[in-house]
Amino acid sequence: MSPPATLHDPSALADSRYAVVRLMVTLALMTVGASGMYVVAVVLPAVQAEFGVARADASLPYTLLMIGFGIGGMLMGRLADRFGVMVPLLIGAASLGLGYVAAAMAGSIWMFTLAHGFLIGLFGSSATFAPLLADTSLWFVRRRGIAVAVCASGNYIGGAIWPPIVQHFVETDGWRHTYLGLGLFSFVTMTALALLMRKRPPLAVPAAPNARAPATPSSLPFGLSPGKAQTLLCVAGVGCCVAMAMPQVHIVSYCADLGYGAARGAEMLSLMLACGVVSRLVSGMICDRIGGLRTLLLGSALQGIALLLFLPFDGLVSLYLIAALFGLFQGGIVPSYAIIVREYFLPAEAGARVGMVIMATMIGMALGGWMSGKVFDLTGSYHAAFINGIAWNLLNFSIVFFLLYRVRRRATAVQVA
């Protein structure tokens, strides 16, 4: 793919037709790469039965995958900052393909877990999230929020389409053959798409100013040192995603335990993530109007409400409705962090800093997935796991509210001066 000759000036590429075409390629890459995050939740009951392990042990592949995904996002983000996004994407294509094959050949839960943590998570799927979010944020100015939201929607589009597909093949061919097919498809498709991403981003330019977000990034984000600001965002990321992981990781097992069957749970997971696509697009438009920080605060509040609804309602129709609401409420949370980084931190650090925050959110997903399984093993139900998720969500809300308070206080001080 080569841009038109009129776009020889790097700064002119921002918001161009080439940037839009590139965004579509990015969307496809993220959709394929996202498979690694969601198929393990679908095969969890079958893997647990085959290896004869407890629910917490069967959740470990997802936990290690999320940890690897998070760390890998930071490493791949640094690679993208230095060499361009095509390099980590090619590494991701090879690793994801090998990871699925290795998992399919695993003889124990520990080999299955290691394949997910290192190949699928650390070097595979991680290349198709944080680096692509950061790369997209550098190609758009006027509609950066919606562009990043479209990019991030690939993650949930993958979550919407992969669970029912994988569930079908698990039932007809078994989970091992399903993983082999995923490995071949992922490697071929991602390699071809990655080769279309050779061009480096245009010169970093700030977002178009609005009444809610800073006109230019600052060396003192939120009036704090970059290290303190980054740490608070990372803790907030852990909090929101511990809460987010409970329904996403365990909805299939939860439905099986309630007697509705794993297939109903896979449908609910697919519905949840399909609604997450809508949430991400709407959140992107909201983000362009009110800024990333306020969008994150709104998403945190709504996610807490959805988690509360799981406590009194466990009927089949009720769970379908709550799964849809949960997807609609929480889908815009993680992309908001990428926008916040671009609004408050220096552009040259985008890949590394977005990768660091995404690492924190993935650690939260990993911790939440394992913790919910452990709580289930200890209590025999998921009721306490939902309460645990609500508490972590309150931590996220408190930090984001504090950061927004600091931003408003600084804005008021500037106006008075």
Domain map (residue ranges) of the chain: 11-416
Whether pLDDT at 335 is above 90: no
Residue among 39, 165, 11 nearest 99 (CA)? 39
Alpha carbon of residue 305 to chain centroid: 20
Q: pLDDT at position 100, please? A: 97
CA 149 to chain centre: 11
Q: Which amino acid is at 13?
A: L
| Crossing angle for the helix pair 144-173 and 17-33, to the nearest 10 degrees | 30
* pLDDT for 233 beyond 90: yes
Which residues, at least 6 apart from 290, have a Cβ–Cβ distance to it below 8 Å? 210, 212, 213
Burial of residue 316 (CB within 10 Å: 0-12, 13-18, 19+) is middle
- Among 123-127, 214-218, 239-243, the range scoring the smallest mean pLDDT is 214-218
CA distance to 215, 223, 345, 371, 409, per residue, from 209 (Å): 4, 19, 15, 41, 19
* Between 177 and 245, the higher pLDDT residue: 177
Write down the pLDDT at residue 207: 44
Question: What's the Cα-to-Cα distance from 30 to each of 26, 132, 189, 325, 370, rounded to whole Å?
Answer: 6, 8, 11, 23, 25
- CB atoms near residue 279 (< 10 Å): 25
pLDDT computed for residue 85 by the predictor: 94
Q: What is the pTM of this model?
A: 0.75
Mean residue pLDDT of the chain comes to: 87
The residue among 86 and 415 whose pLDDT is bigger is 86
What is the Cα 276 distance to its own chain's centre?
11
If pLDDT is split at 50, 70 and 90, which confidence band does 205 have? Answer: very low
> Tell me: the pLDDT tens digits for 361-392?
888 887 888 888 888 888 888 888 899 999 99
Least confident of 298-302, 333-337, 347-351: 347-351
Q: Is 415 buried (19+), middle (13-18) or exposed (0-12) by CB count in 10 A?
A: exposed
Q: What is the CA radius of gyration of the chain?
A: 20
Mean pLDDT of the region 41-68 = 85
Confidence of residue 203 (pLDDT cuts 50, 70, 90): low
The DSSP secondary-structure symbol of 349 reads G
pLDDT at 113 over 70: yes
For domain 11-416, give the CATH superfamily. MFS general substrate transporter like domains (1.20.1250.20)
pLDDT at 157 over 50: yes
Q: Supply φ then ψ for residue 4, to 5 degrees.
A: -60, 155
Q: Is pLDDT of 342 > 80?
A: yes
Least confident of 18-27, 136-145, 225-234: 136-145
* Average pLDDT score over residue span 277-303: 91
Neighbours of 219 (CB within 10 A): 8
What integer is the mean pLDDT of 1-8? 45
Residues 387-410: tens digit of each pLDDT: 999 999 999 999 999 999 999 888
Q: What is the pLDDT of residue 394?
A: 96
pLDDT over threshold 90, residue 208: no
- Residues whose CB falls within 8 Å of the CB of residue 9, separated by 6 or more in sequence, listed in order: none
Q: What are phi and psi of 141, to 5 degrees?
A: -125, -60
CA–CA gap between residue 375 and residue 322 (Å, rounded): 21
Q: How many residues does the chain have?
A: 417
CA-based torsion, 290, 292, 294, 299: positive or negative: positive
Quick one: average pLDDT of 181-204?
90
Maximum alpha-carbon separation in the chain: 70
State the average pLDDT over residues 331-353.
Answer: 84
Please tell me what DSSP assigns to residue 331: T
Token pair, residue 119, equals: 């190949």
In this prediction, residue 340 carries a pLDDT of: 92
Q: How confident is the model at residue 93 (pLDDT cuts 50, 70, 90)?
A: very high
Dig out the tokens for 387 from the structure: 């309460």
Under 8 Å between Cβ of 395 and 235: yes
pLDDT for residue 16: 85
Model confidence at 215: pLDDT above 70: no
Q: Percentage of the chain surpassing pLDDT 70?
A: 92
Rounded Cα distance between 150 and 155, Å, is: 10
Please give the Cα distance from 129 to 151 (Å, whole number). Answer: 9
Q: Is the pLDDT of residue 7 over 70?
A: no
Would you say residue 218 has pLDDT above 80?
A: no
pLDDT at 352: 80
